[in-house]
Chain A
Amino acid sequence: MNPDMISSDSQVASTKTNEPEAKAPGSDSLPEVVYSADSSLRNPIHLVRAMFKDLLASRELAWRLFVRDLSAQYRLSYFGYLWAFLPPLATMAVWVFLRSQGIVDVGETPVVYPVYVLTGVLLWEGFSTALNSPLQVVRDAAAMLTKINFPREALLLAGFGQVLFNTLVRLVLLAGVFLWFQVSLPWTAILAPIGILSTLALGFTLGLLLVPVGALYQDVSRGVLMLTTFWFFLTPVVYPPPTAWPGTLLARVNPISPLLLTTRDALTTGDLSRWSDFAIVSGFSLAFLFVAWVSYRLALPHLIARMSS
């Protein structure tokens, strides 16, 4: 080392965390950040405080990113927002056709089949886009992540906003189909927003838990793609829940089943008999959402270090 080297003085940080520290009164009011090799978990209070501070700070950016992606999404297409409606309509048409020709026999559904299948497909698609969203937003933002320090929560908020928006827009389609088949809404329909949010939240939580591994290894996104195809058929989306064992197992073990079934029932039949399973799954997914958020925050600097820049 060179003699010109200016040695750092001996002020050693009392607490070493990656999160901004509260300043002692009387000192300069500038915010201070310390970066070190130590895990942020070593100072959980700072960690949680910083998480919520960043969450608040990220609202505006999240909104900008949301608007950016939304307005850019359909600008390069002729049919524009029509594309939000076409895929679920096509899926519905396929299943209605298959059933009408007797190719598949799904038994009797509590409401007319097109309404039943479209409600299910919309909820399922909400779930599966939410599942893919966290990994997708992190991948898409790699160039930003490796160059700029912005509140990382903004990506998640914008991603979830996107998923929520797409689902809500499709509800317009659902309303049209309800009117067409003259299906009247039961009073329980006012509970449907909770059901929709829970369904999306479960997908998003699972997706977020996958980020630490998935941002490094593509195996995760490939695996998820394969899994969701099977999962679709193992979930009572286009058919009513089985009533005989072992088919009943599907509705119990599969966490998405109670959410999807209860929400669909709330919109169509008004049957809320599955509410306890619904509450358990929702509760777990909320708790895990927080865990997933922590893991996202902790993993991100390490993921960025391995991303190409």
Chain B
Amino acid sequence: MSDVLIEVDQVSKRYCRDLKRSLWYGMQDVVGEFSGLSTSSRELRPKEFWAVDDISFQLRRGECLGLIGPNGAGKSTLLKMLNGLIKPDDGSIRVRGRVGALIELGAGFHPVLTGRENIYVNGSILGMSKQEIDLKFEEIIDFAEIGDAIDAPVQNYSSGMRVRLGFAIASALQPDVLIVDEVLAVGDAGFRTKCNNRMAELLEGTAVIFVSHSMPQVSRLAGRTIVLKDGSCEFDGNTAKAINQYYSLFDDDERGRRGTGQARITAFECFRHDQIPATTFQYAESMTIRLRIESNQDIDSLVVDVYFGTVSGERVAECNNFVVPTRLKIAAKQPSVVEIRIPQLTLNPGVYRMGALLMCPDMNAHYDWLPTVEKITVEGGRPATTGQQFSADWRMLNEDVDIKALKEH
């Protein structure tokens, strides 16, 4: 028998944003439930929408499924149905084995009780027996690393400490099916590493469904990923492809242009091999950028900054003539074309937004600022976690080469 632990079959859930109506529909659903009739429905009542729309997948033991999508795509609703908190309006879900959820860390914590007391309460809520908690008690306290605070009331904890304790308890569970909703980005850097390692341990022998907005994390943990948008499945398959698909959902974001307007960018284009207009580049290929600038006054020294950012807005690389430095002098009413040549575009494979800025030399006044002037895709290799991958030479050396030893701690 195959070890399918989760089987989701054409599951849908409808929601209503209008509060009054939502309550009324809630009443109707309750009455429908009491009537004992089949309440399965593909109909939408007025002002309703599909929060989850016709989703199907299966998950086996040892697999990790990533679930990504913009805010409000239905990820959490789907998780709630998998966890049995709410019922689907159509379709069915089969879950086999013990279900653990890393969703709300520290649910049921009572602020007045000590950390020690709350471990028992929270553990019990998560389905652990007293013996189980007794057995793991030391492990939980060790993992949470909150020291003497364990005997202080939880209301005196910092939010980080609360989350540490919550994660330590929730991850002590040994489930067959694990549901994780964006809880790994908690605590300080040290604790995050611990969380990730614990997650990797939990992954073995468990079927995991993992919701996150952190693409590096998804690409590290998930073998397969579903992209949700407006409740329906946009993509299901290879994680790297899913992440690209996810990024492309943000294509038509606003391109709000700002700046004083004294100088403007009137044309912008990227080229492969110096001449072929392109928006897709192979890793480490050359890239040429040309932009036309028009100004209504003489600018003795113009700063041009072209930067690359991830779709979530984090800037990862830039070209700035003032840093290099190269002086660009622009005459009034006379279009000038600037060329920037990047010999090796060593951005990691992925989708990037290019932004362009014209500034005065002290970089205080922005003449023109296009947050998204172009969108490019870099192809090749495996997905990676940072923005750039230096094109480095790697080789093995003899072990007697002298390098500074690290201190052990």
Interfacial residues, chain A to chain B (CB-CB below 8 A): 1-2, 4-9, 11-13, 16, 18, 27-28, 30-42, 60-61, 64-65, 68-69, 71-72, 75-76, 141, 143-150, 212-213, 216-217, 295, 298-299, 301-306, 309
Do the beta carbons of B235 and A35 come within 8 Å of each other? Answer: no
Residues of B within 8 A of A8 (CB): 7-10, 56-58
- Point out the residues of chain B lying under 8 angstroms from A36, CB to CB: 40, 87-88, 91-93
Q: Complex Cα distance A113/B13, Å?
A: 60
Contact (Cβ within 8 A) A216 B27:
yes
**In the complex, which of the residues B86, B125, B241 contacts A148, with contact meaning CB atoms closer than 8 Å?**
B125
Cβ contact of B30, chosen from A2, A4, A32, A302, cutoff 8 A: A302
Bound complex: CA of A305 vs CA of B25, how far in Å?
11
Would A72 and B113 be within 8 Å (CB), given that A7-B56, A302-B30 are in contact? yes
Residues of chain B whose beta carbon lies under 8 Å from any beta carbon of chain A: 1, 5, 7-10, 13, 15, 22-23, 25-27, 29-30, 32-41, 56-58, 76, 80-81, 83-99, 101, 103-104, 107-108, 110, 112-113, 117, 120-121, 124-127, 129-130, 176, 233-238, 241
Determine the distance from Cα of A4 to Cα of B56 in the docked complex, in whole angstroms: 12
B93 touches A34 (CB 8 A): yes
Q: How many Å lie between the Cα of A125 and that of B110 in the bound state?
A: 26
Residues of chain B within 8 A of A33, CB atoms compared: 84, 94-96
Bound state CA distance, A69 and B96, in angstroms? 33
Chain A residues near B29 (CB-CB < 8 A)? 302, 305
Which residues of A have CB within 8 Å of B237?
A: 2, 4-6
Q: How far, in whole Å, are A38 and B103 apart by their CA atoms in the complex? A: 26
Which of B32, B84, B94 counts the most A-chain CB atoms under 10 A from its CB? Answer: B94
A residues in contact with B35, CB < 8 Å:
39, 41
A4 with B27: in contact, given A37-B87, A144-B107, A149-B83 (CB under 8 Å)? Answer: no
Separation of A72 and B241 alpha carbons in the complex (Å): 51
- Name the one of B23, B27, B30 contacting A298, with C-beta atoms under 8 angstroms: B30
Contact (Cβ within 8 A) B124 A64: yes
Q: Give the one of B57, B89, B95 with max A CB within 10 A.
A: B95
A143 to B166, CA, bound (A): 15
CB-based A-B contact count at 8 angstroms: 198
Residues of A within 8 A of B108 (CB): 65, 68, 141, 144, 148
The one of B91, B101, B125, B176 that contacts A37, using a Cβ cutoff of 8 Å:
B91
Bound: A37/B42 CA distance, A: 11
If A28-B1, A147-B85 touch, does A68 touch B38 (CB 8 Å cutoff)? no
Which residues of B sit under 8 angstroms from A217, Cβ to Cβ?
23
Partner of B38, one of A39, A75, A143: A39
A60 in contact with B94 given A7-B56, A41-B36, A304-B85 (CB within 8 Å):
no
User: CB distance A299 to B33 under 8 Å?
Assistant: yes
C-alpha spacing A212/B23, complex, angstroms = 11
Report the bound CA distance from A36 to B90 in whole Å: 7
**23 A-B Cβ contacts within 8 A?**
A2-B236, A4-B235, A4-B241, A6-B236, A8-B57, A8-B58, A31-B96, A31-B97, A37-B91, A38-B40, A39-B33, A61-B125, A68-B110, A68-B117, A141-B108, A143-B107, A144-B104, A213-B30, A299-B34, A305-B26, A305-B86, A306-B22, A306-B25
> What is the chain B residue whose CB lies nearest that of A148?
B107
Query: A213 contacts which chain B residues (CB < 8 A)?
Result: 27, 30
Q: Is the CB of A6 within 8 A of B107?
A: no
Q: Which 5 A-B pairs have the closest CB atoms?
A: A4-B237, A41-B36, A147-B104, A37-B40, A36-B92
Cβ-defined partner of A147 (8 Å) among B39, B58, B91, B103: B103
Contact B126–A148 (Cβ < 8 Å): yes
A64 with B107, Cβ < 8 A, contacts A5-B236, A16-B92, A42-B36 known: no
| A37 and B41 contact, Cβ closer than 8 Å, known pairs A6-B58, A146-B80 | yes
From A27, which residue of chain B is reached at the shortest CB distance?
Answer: B1
Chain B nearest Cβ from A189, distance in angstroms: 37
Asked if B94 and A298 make an inter-chain contact with CB atoms under 8 angstroms apart, the answer reads: no
- Complex: how many Å from CA A32 to CA B97? 6
Cα A89 to Cα B247 with chains together (Å):
67
B34 touching A37, Cβ below 8 Å: no
Contacts of A147 in B (CB 8 A): 85, 101, 103-104, 107
Whole-angstrom distance from the CB of A16 to the nearest CB of chain B?
6
A216 to B31, CA, bound (A): 13
A37/B113 in contact, CB under 8 A: no
Is B86 within 8 A of A301, CB to CB? yes
B96/A64 in contact, CB under 8 A: no
A99 to B275 Cα, complex, angstroms: 103
**Extra pairs beyond A61-B125, A303-B26, A306-B22 (19, CB < 8 Å):** A4-B241, A6-B58, A8-B8, A28-B1, A28-B96, A30-B97, A34-B93, A35-B92, A37-B87, A37-B88, A64-B120, A64-B125, A68-B108, A75-B112, A144-B125, A145-B85, A148-B104, A150-B126, A305-B15
Q: Is the CB of B236 within 8 A of A4?
A: yes
Residue on A nearest B88 in the bound complex, by CB: A37
- The reply to whether B37 and A35 form a contact with Cβ atoms under 8 Å apart is no
**Interface contact A60-B41, CB-CB below 8 Å:** no
A276→B7 CA distance, assembly (Å): 55
The CA-CA distance from A212 to B28 in the complex, in Å, is 11
Q: Does the CB pair A60–B85 fall under 8 Å?
A: no
* Chain B: CB-nearest residue to A297: B33
Give Cα A60–Cα B134 distance, bound, in whole angstroms. Answer: 14
CB distance from A45 to the nearest CB of B (A): 14
Contacts of A150 in B (CB 8 A): 125-127
Which residues of chain B come closer than 8 Å to A30, judged between CB atoms? 5, 96-97, 176
Bound form: Cα–Cα A178–B364 in Å: 85
Which residue of chain B is the closest to A1 with respect to CB atoms? Answer: B233
Contact A2 B233, beta carbon cutoff 8 Å: yes
Q: Do the beta carbons of A306 and B23 come within 8 Å of each other?
A: yes
CA distance A64 to B110 in the complex (A): 12
| Least Cβ–Cβ distance between B151 and chain A, in angstroms | 14
Give chain B residues whose Cβ lies under 8 Å from the Cβ of A7: 56
Chain A residue with minimal CB distance to B95? Answer: A33
Q: How far is the CA of A298 from the CA of B10 in the complex (A)?
A: 23
Residue of A nearest to B40 (CB): A37
Kindly state the separation between the CA atoms of A150 and B99 in the bound complex, as whole angstroms: 10
**Chain A residues with CB below 8 A from B27, complex form:** 213, 216
Nearest B residue to A18, CB-CB = B87
Contact (Cβ within 8 A) B96 A212: no
Contacts of A302 in B (CB 8 A): 26, 29-30, 33, 86-87
A143-B104 contact given A6-B57, A33-B84, A34-B94, CB 8 Å threshold: yes
